[in-house]
Chains A and B, each alone.
Chain A
Amino acid sequence: MSKLSTIYFQYIKNYYRSKSFYLMLFLILVIGVMMVYFSLRYVNTLPGFLGSTSLSPSLKETLFYYIWTFILANIPVFASVFFGSPALSSEIENRTAYYIFPLPINRYKLYIGKYLAAVTVTLIIVAIYTVFELGTLGFLFKNLPPVDFYYSLGLLILFILSIMSITFMISAIFNKNTYAYISVFIIYYIVFEAGSLIIELLYKVTPTYLLNEAATIIDRVYMNINTTDFLAKPSISPAPFSDVILAMLVMLIYLVVSFIIGMFLFERKEVS
């Protein structure tokens, strides 16, 4: 356990001093400031398609939480690309494997320690955005966040664990960072996003088993509006409980399966 924590803190240190972290930090600050501006600017002048001024105060608050969370749900994907894609491939490409592999450490511990460090820095990025969200919406609506906020946050953490796990698995396959970066992008935005679209259009079925579909639950716990699902009817009510359970199950399966495969690949990884 002490070795695991040593590895974890070592990688945390290397992550938060890296250029990737500062780039993500910059992006999140820009996005946070923009969201604050738009919230202040449009709180009383909502466009017609968002209900204009006819929304009740509580519904308006829920709508703003939905919009903020809609943006937030995309951040883990970018964070996992920045922090997760090169996580294991860089050990080979940057030759740090020659230093770390011969040390008396189990490779499983290395994998878990680095994974937890990547998840932690992603959570830090997400936390910064959440502070912007809570500060702005608390100021505008003079309320504590609704209970849905906590559900959404819990689901977001599960999504981060899941997407990071997939990214680590992909990173364990490659010896070059570029291949890992490209593959993660392709898998998320082509295999998942485009695949989801094609399946819906061709087969008139919502592929709830795809991770991107499951991740929509993060904002749908406020309002059941899925912008990527042409088949579902939008509703201002929260997504049904069964949808939440299904999405959790899908994310959990992706998390566990890719984690096991990733560890297996990394254990057998050779530096040649």
Chain B
Amino acid sequence: MEIFMDSLTKRYGKLTALNNINIDINSHGCVGLLGPNGAGKTTMLKLATNIIKPTSGRVEINNINVSQYPEKAMKYVGSLIEQPEFYPYLSGTEILEFTQKIRGISKEDYAIEVKRLKDETNITEFVNRKTGAYSRGMKQRLALAVAMLGDPEIIILDEPTFGLDPKGMYDIRGLIKRISKEHLVLLSTHLIYEAREVCDRTIIINKGNIGHDSKMVENKDLLKITADNKIKIISNKIINYTVDNDYIIIEKNKNFDNYEVINDLLNEGLKINYVEKYDNLENIYVSIINKEDSYR
């Protein structure tokens, strides 16, 4: 399973929505796309799902060029882009059956799979009603079921929790976590905590450019410490640390609790004033956005 973007550029007239993007995602797991409104996240997903065509460069799904061979490439992809609508005079069941036939899923497989998906996305109650009468949340749940029907290797989701109630959001995050163990999930979201919770890798986009691309460091393993003195830290409970003017950021060994690490640091002579959890992703995000803004 692979999504490969090579020198991908998309322009709308004079506006460059995506600028020379190069990304290779080639294993299962969840990759989060973060960025402010208009950063280019949805444009990237639209290009990867044949909704729009690139100005230059290419997107390949499992080595198949999406623009040139969309029918072949999209066999491997299930997607939920923006907030899709369905044909209003068809029921959710008819939409799922249509998708089944288009994806070439056998009736036997469909019967098993659709039962599972109905439970997972919680659509059983309303799936036989015409989609024209669905609420935003219902449409979003159906769209998720459609995206996962046929068990595609790659699942592309654009703000999948949009319009859902807190319980629905919780369920969907759990679902994404679970499917990303065997599938490649590309998830676009505004919510940093959502990306942190479900993603293994994050890509931050701003103004059509990639500002950051790295594996996720778990938030619970990072501590921000304010101290009166600065000393060399040698504790084996710490993997890495960085010293700033005002504070020290510590990446601790996940096998130790916070208090054990703090005790070690106190024993080493660090005069600690204040300790808090550190959200590195949020800080990276803000610094990238601020940096771009300061260039303007």
Contacts and interface: CB of A to CB of B under 8 A. Distances in A.
Q: Chain B's interface: helix, strand, loop or mixed, by majority? A: mixed
A98 B85 contact: yes
A26 to B, nearest CB: 17
B102 interface: yes
A14 B82 contact: no
A3 interface: yes
A105 B49 CA distance: 12
A2 B74 CA distance: 17
A53 interface: no
B259 to A, nearest CB: 49
Contacts of A107: 70
Contacts of A106: 70-71
B52 A98 contact: no
B279 interface: no
A102 B79 contact: yes
Contacts of A105: 71, 74, 102
A97 B51 contact: yes
Sort chain A's interface into a size bin.
20 to 34
Nearest to A13: B90
A98 B12 contact: no
Contacts of B85: 94-96, 98-99
Contacts of A270: 51-53
Interface in A86-129: 94-99, 101-107
Contacts, number: 83
B89 A104 contact: no
B143 interface: yes
Interface stretch (B93-101, B120-128, B189-197, B236-244): B93-101
Nearest to B76: A104
Interface in B65-100: 70-75, 77, 79, 81-90, 94-95, 98-99
Given A98-B81, A99-B86, A105-B102, A271 B71 contact: no
A54 B72 CA distance: 69
Q: Chain A's interface: helix, strand, loop or mixed, by majority? A: loop
B50 A98 contact: no
A6 B84 contact: no
A268 interface: yes
B103 interface: yes
A271 B89 contact: no
A271 B84 CA distance: 12
Interface string A1-33: 011001100100110011000000000000000
Contacts of B102: 3, 6-7, 103-105
Contacts of A271: 46, 51-52
Contacts of B75: 104
B146 interface: yes
B89 A17 contact: yes
Contacts of B70: 104, 106-107
19 contacts: A2-B101, A3-B102, A6-B98, A10-B90, A10-B98, A14-B90, A18-B89, A94-B85, A95-B85, A98-B81, A101-B51, A102-B49, A102-B79, A104-B75, A107-B70, A271-B52, A272-B12, A272-B46, A272-B52
